[in-house]
Amino acid sequence: MTRARLTRDSVATARRIVVKVGSSSISGENADQIDPLVDALVTAYSRGAEVILVSSGAIATGMPFLQLDARPDDLATQQAAASVGQNVLIYRYQNSLRRYGIVAGQVLLTAGDLENDTHRLNAQRAMERLLGLRILPIVNENDTVATHEIRFGDNDRLAAMVAELVDADLLVLLSDVDALYTRPPHLEGAERISRVPFGDELSGVEIGSIGRAGVGTGGAETKVSAARIAAASGTGVLVTATSLVSEALGGEAIGTWFEPAS
Which residues belong to the annotated binding site for ATP? 20, 175-176
Q: How far apart are CA 189 and CA 212, in angstroms?
A: 22
Q: How far apart are CA 124 and CA 133, in angstroms?
A: 14
Contact yes or no for 117/126 (Cβ under 8 A): no
Contact yes or no for 69/28 (Cβ under 8 A): no
Contact yes or no for 231/260 (Cβ under 8 A): yes
Please list the alpha-helical segments (H only) found in 114-154. Answer: 117-132, 148-152
Binding-site residue numbers are 20, 56, 143, 155, 175-176
Binding-site residue numbers for substrate are 56, 143, 155
What is the per-residue DSSP string for 207-225? ----S-TTT----HHHHHH
Q: How far apart are CA 160 and CA 84, in angstroms?
A: 26
Q: How far is CA 178 from the centre of its chain?
A: 14
